Amino acid sequence: MVKSLTISLIALIIMKNLNMTIIGLSFLTIMSMEATSVVMKKVEFNGLYSMDLVMGMMITLTLFVSFLSYLSSAKIARKSSFNLVIISISIVLVMSFSVSSFFLFFFFFESVLGPLLLLILGWGYQPERLQAGGYMLIYTVFGSLFFLWGVSELYMSGASSSMSSVSGAVKKSAMSLWWLYILGFLIKLPMYPFHLWLPKAHVEAPVAGSMLLAGVVLKLGGYGLLRLMMVMQVSLSSLVFVLLLMINLVGGFYAGLGCVRQVDLKCLVAYSSVAHMSLVLLGVLSNTVLGVVGAIIIMIGHGLCSSGLFSYVNSIYKSSHSRLLVMNKGGLLTCPSLVIMCFLLSSSNMAAPPSLNLFGEILIFGVSGWMSGAFLLILGLMSFISACFSLYLYGSCSHGKGLMYMDSLSMSSVCDVFVLVAHWLPLNFLFMFMP
């Protein structure tokens, strides 16, 4: 399936008909969903590619978000070049999730920065996009070097570089500096205080860049950490482990408080990603079945929810030409359909039933209560502040008196509403098809 997806994506690049590209991407998404539902056990091909349920879900999420991000950028300039960059990002992400070698994963993990940086610099909104691209490049490349160091140490100790074969028999003492080797993944997630590059990149990126960054690229950190946990020896009572999780949870709560004080819509959604992805780190590092399953569910749910919120922000930005909350009030008067979708996505963002975020957070809460009562208390505060900034986002954009010079949204694009509905439906009904 991986080879077929890669060949099909390359063929779509050659096509000059952008409508055929959209149809092809949607078809690949459906096919990958079918393959994911069938494959339940881990399968490896030629020692280079592997396929399991987690990989299938990540590839499906990649193609789905890529398809919706393109629909949200229907009127963007230089469409042919833009289409090429989007497909390039999709190819690199698909290869990142499908390779079974740690070294190949590192290669594609870093390769995604190239087209993503080109997307920000080429289609960004302000001159500050150069600074945002520099922040993203320096942060992620610096942290990933420690991951390469750790994998090299593992390989030099006599172990294989294959993710599947190395998990069974490996000298885990070779990964004694695990807290240093995972730094690249902590930056990519991102974990507080390594999150400073994310708001800058989101603010300067076009809507497709923000949707791909929040929906898929951040999941590379959680996916890589999940794979690396197979060869890591982590003591749950060690000082480093406890300190890492405390900084992570307290930083997530602080990021939630920062959301309530934001005046920029994109910054608000970006900081909410820092708060939610801290739950993923807790679940993966717990190294329990419930914790890992909860982390995977939250990654899928957050990928759909945050991507949808960025698409909503872009929809109202096209009317007011501003991302400030004070300039985007009165949505109920101008476009009730967008407000309804804003409410539905905001409710899913604060883990209201029956969203995937709710099921993931229930599992994470159970694991945190087993680990420490202090972790459970902080998670409770994070859940409360998550509801606060989600309602703050909805209330600020929906109620109040709109500005007189705002373009009317009453005839908003059907494509915008379709993109928002396409985010919300799997986010709230995908649990019915979970194995």
Burial 350-364 (b: 16+ CB within 10 A, else e): bbeeebbbbbbbebb
Reply yes or no: is the peptide bond before residue 193 cis, omega within 30 of 0.
yes
Listing DSSP states for 20-38 in one string gives HHHHHHHHHHHHHHHHHHH
Q: Name residues whose C-beta falls within 8 Å of residue 397's C-beta, 6 or more positions apart in sequence.
A: 265, 316, 325, 328, 329, 331, 339, 342
Pairwise CA distance, residues 310 & 265, whole Å: 9
Pairwise CA distance, residues 216 & 225, whole Å: 15
Q: Name residues whose C-beta falls within 8 Å of residue 62's C-beta, 6 or more positions apart in sequence.
A: 90, 93, 94, 97, 216
Q: Name residues whose C-beta falls within 8 Å of residue 267's C-beta, 6 or more positions apart in sequence.
A: 199, 202, 203
- pLDDT in the model for residue 73: 83
- pLDDT in the model for residue 411: 44
Pairwise CA distance, residues 308 & 375, whole Å: 29
Contact criterion met (CB below 8 Å) for 303 and 219: yes
Neighbours of 160 (CB within 10 A): 17
Residue type, 338: L
Q: Name residues whose C-beta falls within 8 Å of residue 22's C-beta, 6 or more positions apart in sequence.
A: 67, 70, 71
pLDDT tens string for the chain (435 positions)? 554 555 555 555 555 555 555 555 555 555 555 555 455 556 666 667 777 788 888 988 998 898 888 888 877 878 888 888 988 898 899 889 988 888 889 999 999 999 999 999 988 877 788 888 888 888 888 888 999 888 888 778 766 677 766 655 555 555 678 888 889 899 988 888 888 899 889 888 899 999 999 999 999 999 999 888 877 777 778 888 899 999 999 999 999 999 998 989 999 999 999 999 999 999 999 888 999 999 999 999 999 999 999 999 998 888 888 888 888 888 787 788 888 999 999 999 998 888 999 999 999 999 998 988 899 999 999 999 999 999 999 998 888 776 644 555 544 578 888 899 999 999 988 776 665
- pLDDT in the model for residue 7: 55
- pLDDT in the model for residue 83: 85
Query: What residues does 324 pair with on adjacent strands?
Result: 264
Contact criterion met (CB below 8 Å) for 318 and 215: no
Listing DSSP states for 154-204 in one string gives HHHTT--SBHHHHTTS--GGGGTTHHHHTHHHHHHTTPTTS-THHHHHHHH
Pairwise CA distance, residues 8 & 14, whole Å: 10
Q: Name residues whose C-beta falls within 8 Å of residue 336's C-beta, 6 or more positions apart in sequence.
A: none
